[in-house]
Amino acid sequence: MSRSVIYTVDGDGTLTAMRPSVPRDEDYMQMLVARHPELIADDDGALLLIRREQPIADREDGSGRWSLDHLFVTRSGIPVLVELKRAVDTRLRREVVGQMLDYAANGTAYWQGGRIAESFAATMAEADIDADAELAAFLNGSTDPEQFWEQVDANFAAGRIKMVFVADTIPRELARIVEFLNEQMKADVRAVELSWFESQGGITALTPRIIGETVRAQNEKAARTSLPAISRYEWIGQRLTPCGDEVVKAAEIFISLNEDAGGRAVVTSSQGSIISEFETSSGVLYPLRLSPERKGSIQLCLAYLVNRPAFASAEARQRAYQDLVNIVGPLSTKTLTGYPGFDARKLNDPAIRSQLAAYLGWIRQTAEQSI
């Protein structure tokens, strides 16, 4: 499809012709999209950059076989996977589709809870930006940060993602593939044609066009994404029964452990986990969660605790981490801003169960004393 010249008129009435052009290189396009994600946004609204060149593993213990061009998230917690190519790149037709499907299939299969939050924190640290402040500004008070990251992880694990192909020209073949995939898949699939125009004075204009958002696809996806209410024991039956009887037994102990400590264990709104809830004078505290990851794991919610004054310092979180290691042994990750976890079946050991009860009491008491 040929592109016409577009014209701009400034406040003095001066007319400037903007003629069809091409981006100088792919890295420049990627930089623009990273800095200005509104260029590729659609009805989901604002996007938060998690990381450029996000590693994607192809096995559970893998560090990253592939590298995704951009990973964003929406305010509703939907991960947005972006692959960008220039129109002159011959891979733009079929190869890029297979590449993206590899990323999505392996990412959702092997992604670990808390990794997206960790990637965001790393991106902010490299840019010398306060990650908590940046996230708070993005959420604008709409969601608690802990619940937001929980929703992001649950969406990614369940395949509730968006895949976006970006190019300065979208070939007709790719547009057809995108529309077909979007109608067939649970994930949303889009292409964004980011047309390039330049004036003789070097001014650049960009006009995005969204491809793939058919009415039929949106109606079908809306019907599929509503989650019916589910009890804790229904959740255990659906999510943990495949993990074995010992994990189911541990899950029931997890519920009792929290209730005996004066809290609750509830299914999260995303239905990705069962989380501990303790009422404190400064709000609800979420110290642990039960997840189906790694065939059943109990995770310390450091990504949430980092936002509580008592655990804002790395030293305080390190103590919480080490105290848990002293009870259950090595955890799944050493990060102090994620969700380090251990095998849920360890709850079946009465000695460990008793120590965890005391540990929960310590976390609650520490949070109260910091007010």
Residue 117 pLDDT > 50: yes
The beta strand positions in the chain, using DSSP E, are 6-9, 15-20, 47-56, 66-74, 79-84, 162-167, 188-198, 204-211, 264-267, 274-280, 283-285, 288-291, 297-300, 341-343
The beta strand positions in 184-263, using DSSP E, are 188-198, 204-211
* Per-chain mean pLDDT for the chain: 84
Q: What is the tens place of the pLDDT at every residue in 145-161?
A: 877 888 888 888 878 89
Cα dihedral value 74, 276, 245, 152, nearest 10: 10
Q: What is the tens place of the pLDDT at every residue in 302-326?
A: 877 887 888 888 899 999 999 999 9
**CA nearest neighbour of 370 among 320, 304, 316:** 316
Cα dihedral value 178, 95, 224, 295, nearest 10: -170
- Local confidence band at 64 (pLDDT 50, 70, 90 cut-offs): low
pLDDT computed for residue 257 by the predictor: 92
Give CA angle at 122 (116, 123), nearest 5°: 90
Look up residue 46 and give its amino acid. Answer: A
With a pLDDT cut of 90, the percent of the chain lying above it is 31
pLDDT computed for residue 291 by the predictor: 87
- Local confidence band at 282 (pLDDT 50, 70, 90 cut-offs): low
Residue 110 pLDDT > 90: no
Mean of pLDDT values over 17-26: 89
pLDDT computed for residue 249 by the predictor: 95
Hey, how many other C-beta atoms are within 10 angstroms of the C-beta on 241? 12
- Local confidence band at 223 (pLDDT 50, 70, 90 cut-offs): very low
Residue with tokens 């310390």: 300
Q: Phi and psi for 282 in degrees, rounded to 5?
A: -110, 10
Distance CA 318, CA 298 (A): 18
Residue with tokens 């395949």: 159
How many CA atoms, within 13 angstroms, populate the side-chain half-sphere of residue 355?
14
Angle in degrees, 0-180, between the axes of helices 350-369 and 314-328, rounded to the nearest 10: 170
pLDDT computed for residue 62 by the predictor: 54
Cβ-based neighbours of 267, under 8 Å, separated by 6 or more: 230, 231, 232, 235, 273, 274
Q: Kindly give the pairing relationship between strand 274-280 and strand 162-167.
A: unpaired
Top pLDDT among 268 and 80 is at 80
Q: Phi and psi for 175 in degrees, rounded to 5?
A: -60, -40
pLDDT computed for residue 324 by the predictor: 95
Hey, how many other C-beta atoms are within 10 angstroms of the C-beta on 299? 27
